[in-house]
Every structure is written in C-alpha cells, then in structure tokens.
C-alpha cells in the first residue's frame, strides 16, 4: 500500500494548491474593491458639481458627529465600477480630529481621505471621508475568477477518491502473495494465514480468530494479542505482508508490495 500513499500526494497537492489559489484571488478581489472605493471618493471630491453637493450636505453635520449620505443615487455610487459595491457601499464624512468616530466594521473599507474645503462663513475646513462596503462572500468569490481553483480542487478530490477506491480494493490481491512467497511460520501461524487468504478482503474479526484457534480457551484475547505481535514480526522479516488492526475489532492482511 506504499504506492497508494505516494500516488495520493499529487491529488493532495492539487487540493492544497487550489485552496491557496482561491484564497489569494479572493484577497486580491477584496483589495481591488478597496481601490475602487478609494477611486470613487477621489473622483467625487475632484468634480466641482459633486463638491458643491457634498458641501451643501454638510449643513446637517454636527461639530463632533458623522454624516452618512443615504441613497444609491448620490454621486459616490456613480463612480463605483464593481457591481457588488454599488449594492452595499456608502461613505461617511466628519470634521478633521473626529476620525476616531469611524468605528464601523465592514467587509471592505477604503483608505481615509482628507479634503480641505472653503466653506462659506466657516473659512477653510478639513473634512475626513471614508467608504465602507459589505458585499457577501459569494459576490466577492464570484468576482475572483474562481474557475481554475474550483476545477483544480474538484479534480484533486476526484483523483483522491479514485485512488482511495483502488487502495481499498487492493487487499484482495494479497491472496496471490500468500501462495507464492515461501514463509517460515509455525503451524498455527500458517493456519491463520490460510484463514486470511480465504477471508473476504483478507479481513478477520477478533472473535473469528479466537474461535478458530482457541475454541475452548476462556478470554483468549490476551493470547491473541501476543500471537498477532509475534506473527507481525515474522512477516516483517520475511515478506512485505503486514497485519493491520482496524478499529480494534478486526485484523486485515495487506501486502505493501502490491501496487495501486
């Protein structure tokens, strides 16, 4: 079964690579959304009509508060290029010195933008703007070009499942090794090996072994453990055959030299 473990490395690497690639592209997409928020804020404050719209909105801004214009038709949304942001984005503005009031938590946040504006009757005023957006995980993922990571991930899963199926079916080939490999074993050990050869998938329950080898012995489990331990040592020295304890209830004979 060594070959199965070696062959499973490729699909496992494919799965790990797809997860890394998907995570990296997801992070890239969030970064692109942050840049889109930054660009929309910059374009809004650079265009004179929109500057005036924003200045007029500041009449409702308290000295130590935050203004968050509502409605998707404000100029900020018109400068956003990514659809998930248009659905969930908004921006807030406050006077310089009150930036700590931006305590909102969001999936994507812009950088903090400082804007110096000459307000009538108030002289030169520095405003602080910041944008926030809460697109869903799926909307971000769908914009991250997920086709290649998904194909790689499911291809790796398919190969791993195929190898696992072949790996579980391979013990049936052990019976060929039992008749071809010369083994120096005790008569009782040879009897157990013959039981393995005739058992489906070379699998025997503990109770089945005890009933066949020590039918009249009370509590033969301790004898079984010692017997199996010695048989394992003999097999390891003479062949590629190995006895595996499965779930503490049964034993399986496998051949490490059998491919696939």
Question: Taking the domains of the chain in order of start, what are their residue ranges?
Answer: 2-142, 170-255
Distances (CA, A) of 33 to 9, 137, 151: 36, 13, 25
Mean pLDDT score across all residues of the chain: 81
- For the chain, 260 residues long, give each residue's pLDDT as a single digit of tens: 445 566 778 888 999 999 999 999 999 999 999 999 999 999 888 887 777 777 777 766 766 678 777 655 677 888 899 988 888 888 888 877 776 767 778 889 999 888 887 755 556 778 888 999 999 999 999 999 899 999 999 998 988 888 776 655 444 445 445 555 567 888 888 888 888 888 888 889 999 999 999 888 888 888 898 999 999 888 888 888 889 888 778 999 887 765 44
CA 99 to CA 78: how far, in whole Å?
Answer: 25
Cβ count within 10 A of residue 128: 19
- pLDDT (0 to 100) of residue 4: 54
- pLDDT (0 to 100) of residue 260: 44
Residues near 79 by Cβ (< 8 Å), separated by ≥ 6? 39, 40, 43, 44
- pLDDT (0 to 100) of residue 173: 43
CA 79 to CA 188: how far, in whole Å?
Answer: 84
- pLDDT (0 to 100) of residue 167: 54
**Concatenated DSSP letters for 205-229?**
EHHHHHHHH-TT-SSTHHHHHHHHH
Interhelix angle for 147-169 vs 9-46, to 10°?
A: 160
**Entry field: residues in the chain:** 260
- pLDDT (0 to 100) of residue 116: 82
Q: Decide which of 1.20.200.10, 1.10.357.10, 3.40.470.10, 1.10.10.10 is the CATH code for 170-255.
A: 1.10.10.10
Is the model's pTM score more than 0.75? no
The strand ranges marked E within the chain are 90-95, 108-109, 113-119, 123-133, 203-205, 241-246, 250-255
């Amino acid at each position: 079964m060594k070959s199965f473990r070696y062959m499973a490395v490729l699909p496992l690497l494919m799965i790990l690579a797809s997860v890394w690639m998907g995570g990296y592209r997801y992070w890239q997409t969030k970064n692109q959304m942050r840049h889109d928020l930054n660009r929309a804020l910059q374009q809004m404050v650079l265009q004179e009509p929109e500057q005036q719209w924003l200045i007029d909105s500041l009449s409702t801004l308290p000295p130590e508060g935050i203004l968050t214009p509502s409605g998707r038709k404000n100029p900020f949304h018109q400068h956003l290029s990514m659809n998930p942001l248009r659905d969930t984005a908004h921006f807030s503005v406050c006077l310089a010195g009150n930036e700590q009031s931006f305590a909102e938590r969001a999936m994507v946040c812009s950088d903090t933008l400082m804007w110096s504006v000459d307000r009538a009757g108030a002289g030169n005023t520095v405003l602080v703007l910041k944008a926030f957006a809460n697109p869903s995980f799926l909307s971000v993922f769908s914009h991250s070009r997920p086709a290649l990571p998904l194909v790689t991930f499911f291809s790796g899963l398919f190969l791993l499942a195929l190898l696992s199926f072949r790996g579980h079916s391979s013990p049936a080939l052990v019976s060929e090794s039992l008749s071809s490999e010369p083994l120096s074993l005790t008569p009782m050990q040879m009897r157990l090996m013959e039981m393995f050869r005739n058992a489906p998938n070379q699998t025997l329950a503990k109770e089945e072994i005890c009933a066949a080898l020590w039918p009249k012995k009370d509590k033969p489990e301790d004898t079984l453990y010692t017997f199996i331990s010695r048989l394992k040592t003999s097999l390891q020295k003479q062949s590629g055959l190995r006895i595996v304890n499965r779930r503490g209830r049964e034993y399986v004979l496998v051949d490490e030299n059998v491919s696939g």
